[in-house]
Amino acid sequence: MCERLSVINSSFVTIVLTCLVSFSFAAPTKPNVVLLVSDDQGWGDVGYHGGEMSTPNLDQLAKDGMELNRFYAYPICSPTRTSLLTGHISMRHDIFSPIPANLTIPHDEQLMNQAFKEAGYTTMTAGKWHLGMTHVRDLPINRGFDHTYGSLRAGPDFWTHGRGEQKDWARNGKTVFENGYVTDLFGNEISRLIRDRDPSKPFFSYVAFTAPHTPLQAPQEYVDKYAHIENGERRIYCAMVEILDVAIGNILKAIDDEGIRDNTIVIFFSDNGPTTVGDSSGFRGQKGLVYEGGTRMPAIIRWPGKIPAGVRSEQPMVVYDLFPTFVEALDLKTNLNTPFDGESLWDVLKTGGKRERKTDMVIGNGTSYSVHSGDYKLVHSNINRNTPNSPPELVELFKIYDDPKETTNVADTHQDVVEKIMANNVVFADMVRNAPFREGRRGRAARIARGDGGPGGRPGVGTAGGQGEGRVASGGRLGGPAAGGRTAGGRPGGGAGAPAGPPIARDTDGNIIHLHESLPRG
């Protein structure tokens, strides 16, 4: 009898343990998070805003989620990425422009992905890093990501994955040699990682696409779909946005195929406004400028059952609000040396409502800054004391809800508002005022002397490439197909034409040392 009871008890324990193990694998994890960030995509460069390019996946995402109609980023890439990952105004970290070779995103601040990793998430990124490469410790694989893939610098060639002979293309910190169009490869990599993940752990994915940033390159079959567009550069740009949408669709399909749609937060936005080839939908300014065309971004958030679907939110939100919003919504623990500049907006996201912000929204570049405060937007331009031949200092105030195109400066009639906003944000004005001058490539100083770029802009910004980085021509290289040896869609066709850059590092046998392996170690 005792032996029989022992067998029964043993069987019962086995059944209970089996059920517990099964439950542990079946139990839902914390919500997954996927950030989809495009590069130089304008307000009007999505189908759901009337864009002429095909973006069915983003259009559907806007229907299934919430359109963030007043989402703001910095007008330049590295500052937006810094603010996204730190929850700080980028000027706090001396990042005003595309990050120079002697700077990196700070190591003494907890990054968003590190907070997720410490909360038990698998962390992954694909795309461009563009947040520092002074040392191997600056590689994203050493900054709290479990899986990394892509480039360190801005604007790698979409086909050759580098600049000239040197590759800027790596997986987990090691150069990889593979064929393919980079937008496709980013989408494929994240889709694979989602499917191959450990399902018992949640994941955080930061996908920093390089499209539709220059060089303007796309497969010819996509370019041909926009043959009705007269401007050849615009045709390629539209094709790049469509391919971006396809890659995003592949990632969304992987989420659906894994049955985790309801437990995954998806956010899409552009990192800054477009160059002249993009569409700002009539908003003033473009990439590099702190006016609406450079800072007001197409953006969407989807979390089924938690965030209302099919809603257009009018809540003002800036990129550095995302980190504190995740902290509240997902109960993340933080270990911050510097308090957040952003504020959590989880209370309004989950209802679809709108409320007064507790903090101003401050956005800057190397010469100017803007402040959204209540019903007003202040733009304070040309204040960098280190800029030679700077245009006259300019203060503008706009009733931004009544005048979203920023056509009427009301500073003279609302001096009390101007003084209050400036007094509340003097620390950030001083950061811009004392920012180092970056001459950059292609004779930026000469453009400053001519006054190009307009009020509020970083010198040299506002040309098609922004910040002097871009390469624009119907063939995807400066100078056109003849110079770059490319077809109209930018596919390699032989020949030279890569822009001049720093000398390529080589080993003692004369072999090229590629970018990831060339960084100092130790």
Instruction: Please say if the pLDDT value at position 442 is more than 60.
Output: no
Q: Are residues 433 and 311 in the same domain?
A: no
17: DSSP letter = H
**H/E stretch holding 361:** strand 361-364
For residue range 398-439, what is the model confidence (pLDDT) as tens digits?
Answer: 999 999 999 999 999 999 999 999 999 999 999 999 999 876
Q: Are residues 139 and 54 in the same domain?
A: yes
pLDDT band at residue 1 under the 50/70/90 scheme: low
Whether residue 269 contacts residue 275, with contact meaning beta carbons closer than 8 Å, is answered with no
In the chain, the N- to C-terminal Cα span, in Å, equals: 69
Percent of residues in the chain assigned helix, strand, coil, to nearest 5: 30, 15, 50
**421 domain-assigned:** yes
pLDDT band at residue 102 under the 50/70/90 scheme: confident
Angle between helices 77-86 and 322-330 (to 10 degrees): 20
**284 domain-assigned:** yes
Residue with the bigger pLDDT between 452 and 71: it is: 71
For residue range 150-167, what is the model confidence (pLDDT) as tens digits?
Answer: 999 998 999 999 988 899
Lowest mean pLDDT among 65-69, 164-168, 274-278, 380-384: 164-168
The catalytically annotated residue of 77, 93, 238, 516 is 77
pLDDT band at residue 11 under the 50/70/90 scheme: low
Average pLDDT, integer, range 432-459: 51
Q: Are residues 371 and 345 in the same domain?
A: no
Calculate the CA 30 to chain-centre distance. 24
- The single-letter code of the amino acid at 67 is E
Domain end position, chosen among 450, 478, 506: 450
pLDDT score of 468: 35
- The single-letter code of the amino acid at 261 is R
Residue with the bigger pLDDT between 120 and 441: it is: 120
The catalytically annotated residue of 49, 88, 93, 130 is 130
**358 domain-assigned:** no
Lowest mean pLDDT among 84-88, 156-160, 339-343, 449-453: 449-453
pLDDT score of 435: 95
Q: Are residues 177 and 229 in the same domain?
A: yes
Q: Are residues 253 and 344 in the same domain?
A: yes
Q: Are residues 343 and 374 in the same domain?
A: no
Average pLDDT, integer, range 434-445: 65
pLDDT band at residue 513 under the 50/70/90 scheme: confident
Q: Are residues 277 and 235 in the same domain?
A: yes
pLDDT score of 440: 54
**322 domain-assigned:** yes
Q: Are residues 293 and 254 in the same domain?
A: yes
**330 domain-assigned:** yes
**503 domain-assigned:** no
Q: If you write DSSP's letter for every residue of 290-303 in order, what string do you get?
A: SSHHHHEE-EEEE-
Residue with the bigger pLDDT between 451 and 36: it is: 36
Assess whether 130 carries a catalytic annotation.
yes
pLDDT band at residue 511 under the 50/70/90 scheme: confident
Q: Are residues 39 and 134 in the same domain?
A: yes
Instruction: Please say if the pLDDT value at position 149 is more than 50.
Output: yes
CATH code, 410: 3.30.1120
pLDDT score of 482: 29
Q: Are residues 316 and 396 in the same domain?
A: no
**393 domain-assigned:** yes
What is the total count of domains within the chain? 2
User: Dihedral (C-alpha) 183, 188, 193, 196: value to the nearest 10 degrees?
Assistant: 180
* Helix (H/G/I), strand (E/B), else coil: 395: strand
**19 domain-assigned:** no
pLDDT band at residue 463 under the 50/70/90 scheme: very low
Domain span at residue 304 reads 30-349
SS (H, E, C) 115-166: HHHHCCCEEEEEEECCCECCCHHHCHHHCCCCEEEEECCCCCCCCCCEECCE
CATH code, 35: 3.40.720.10
Assess whether 49 carries a catalytic annotation.
no
Q: If you write DSSP's letter for every residue of 181-206 in order, what string do you get?
A: -HHHHHHHHHHHHHHHS-TTS-EEEE
Instruction: Please say if the pLDDT value at position 122 is more than 50.
Output: yes
Average pLDDT, integer, range 330-336: 96
Instruction: Please say if the pLDDT value at position 508 is more than 60.
Output: yes
Q: Are residues 207 and 299 in the same domain?
A: yes
Q: Are residues 183 and 290 in the same domain?
A: yes
For residue range 307-320, what is the model confidence (pLDDT) as tens digits?
Answer: 999 999 999 999 99
pLDDT band at residue 507 under the 50/70/90 scheme: confident
Separation of alpha carbons 70 and 84, rounded Å: 16
For residue range 241-297, what is the model confidence (pLDDT) as tens digits?
Answer: 999 999 999 999 999 999 999 999 999 999 999 999 999 999 999 999 999 999 999
